[in-house]
Structure 1
Amino acid sequence: MKRCVQGEGIEMKTMRGWVKTGLIVSLFLLPLHALAEEMETIFVEGDETFLAGYSCAAPPAGSSAPILCEARISQLLPPFYFEIDWQIAAESGERTVTGIAIRRQGEAEPFQTISDVGSSVKPTTDNNGFEVTDLNFDGHLDFRLLAETTAGPNALYRNWLWSSRDMRFINHAKLDEIVSPEFDPDTQEITSRWRASAAEGGVDIYVWESGDPVLIHRETDRYDGAGCTRFFYDRIGGRLEPTGEGPCA
């Protein structure tokens, strides 16, 4: 079986309290509709009966105040507020997230704090790449942050999936290993566009099985003096097997 995937070359600390700055207090005391006017809101399409979304407010220039984000992950849950603490690393000059405190609307204390974040990127990266989307297609939105700044197209993320059983976000190490993942709710597939070198790149397709992403299809483009050849692989009998080759599209 061959599948052609189109694409270009393959990328707590505890809560300190809302009195840190007047900005934090003013933002989180605003009603939801007013808060949306203060932040740039990004809407995520989901269930027809539920319009999810998230928004973030970066700290003022020169301030060490946390990044503040608000998200709706489910029509059955109240909005969540994320307080993302960070510091500038002395050696690299990158903004390193030191902790995340997450609280529900109407509650003063966080219901979850995350200390092992693993996100360190250039300060010019908006909100360290914070994004809320349905990573495992279960109807609840999850969140992720960029893991690091990369010079090439390969981007790695730190991913946390919402657990309805535990009522908290759980880091998913196997998902963290997938390069530049794109999530398609229609096909329920994860597409990874990667590049190994100037002479080799490709596209991987994953699906969720038993709570883990499983690689089911790969297309690898290899360049040499004669041109470019595309190699196809598919999961057969639990293993990725070569299934054909042809010219690169």
Structure 2
Amino acid sequence: MLTWMKRGSLLACLALPLPVLAETAAMPVDGDETFLPGFTCLAPAAGTDGPIICEALISQVMPPFYFELFWQMDEAAGERAIARIAIRQQGTAESFQVIENVDSQTFPDIENNGFEVIDLNFDGYLDFRLLAQTTAGPNVLYRNWLWSPRDQRFDGNQALDEIVSPEFDPDTQEITSRWRSSATEGGVDIHMWEAGAPVVIHRETDRYGERGCTRTFYDRIDGKLEQTGEGRCG
């Protein structure tokens, strides 16, 4: 772990703007366009166990945030587990939020456990996520935290955590999930946000059998996902 002297020096440095960390300049926002600034992370020196430190802008009207990802090695699994995340604003030394029970564990060669800032709920503020685990299959899960302008903090969203391999489209405000449940079944789900939670509004399921592949269509009707069609895949 860092000594108090080293940690104090690091925090003092990070209280100042860090041009060396800036990967992408903040872009201006017109009307209802989503704000798209950059983010970057600084890994600890080789052979040390200091936190991974990430800098990110989540809004054009707020100062940069610093995320300290405290981790430990799971020697049996050979994976890096994020134990907690401390978050503070640029120019301050104290964290305004500490997130425990992060539940992100990946192989060390996955940079920063997949840390990323992205507008997950299309409200104009950027949120952040981490990979939940290392996976060799098509179903990738994340741990997600949404920025709450009202509470001035990041809140986890369990429903979003359960969506595999999500892709976010700010133009349509849809979340696309491409999943596979077995060697003979897979599909695509389209989600939209309703009352603070992502819900499936359309599903296409492909099933492979002796007669080839059948695609079944489902749509959300009166709050329920109903089968609306069937045909050949492709």
After superposition, the Cα gap between the structure-2 partners of 1:16 and 1:240, relative to the gap in structure 1 and judged at 3 Å, is farther
After superposition, the Cα gap between the structure-2 partners of 1:16 and 1:158, relative to the gap in structure 1 and judged at 3 Å, is farther
CA contact (8 A) 2:12 2:93 kept: no
2:17 corresponds in structure 1 to 31
CA contact (8 A) 2:141 2:162 kept: yes
Distance 1:186 1:203 in 2: 19
User: In structure 2, the residue corresponding to 1:166 is in which secondary structure?
Assistant: coil
User: In structure 1, the residue corresponding to 2:21 is in which secondary structure?
Assistant: helix
CA contact (8 A) 1:47 1:139 kept: no
After superposition, the Cα gap between the structure-2 partners of 1:113 and 1:45, relative to the gap in structure 1 and judged at 3 Å, is same
Identity of paired residues, percent?
Answer: 62
CA contact (8 A) 2:16 2:91 kept: no
Cα shift at 1:30: 5.4
Is the deviation greater in 196-205 or in 42-51?
Answer: 42-51
1:19 corresponds in structure 2 to 6
Cα shift at 1:29: 5.5
> C-alpha deviations, 1:98-148, integer Å up to 9, x for none?
111101000011111111101011111111010100000000000000111
Distance 1:169 1:103 in 2: 12
CA contact (8 A) 1:220 1:232 kept: yes
Do structure 1's residue 168 and structure 2's residue 153 form an aligned pair? yes
Q: Which runs of structure 2 are paired with 1:1-249 in the superposition (5 Å)?
A: 19-20=6-7, 24=10, 28=14, 31-36=17-22, 41=23, 47-48=29-30, 50-249=35-234
CA contact (8 A) 2:67 2:88 kept: yes
Q: Gaps spanning 5+ residues in structure 2: where?
A: none
Q: Gaps spanning 5+ residues in structure 1: where?
A: 1-14
Distance 2:66 2:172 in 1: 30
Q: Relative contact order (alpha carbons < 8 A, sep ≥ 6): 1 or 2 greater? A: 1
Cα shift at 1:46: 8.1
Give the TM-score of the pair, scaled to structure 2.
0.91
AA aligned to 1:47 is V
User: In structure 2, the residue corresponding to 1:34 is in which secondary structure?
Assistant: helix
CA contact (8 A) 2:16 2:90 kept: no
Is the deviation greater in 25-34 or in 125-134?
Answer: 25-34
After superposition, the Cα gap between the structure-2 partners of 1:70 and 1:194, relative to the gap in structure 1 and judged at 3 Å, is same
User: In structure 1, the residue corresponding to 2:101 is in which secondary structure?
Assistant: coil
Cα shift at 1:26: 8.3
**RMSD (CA atoms):** 2.3
1:9 corresponds in structure 2 to none
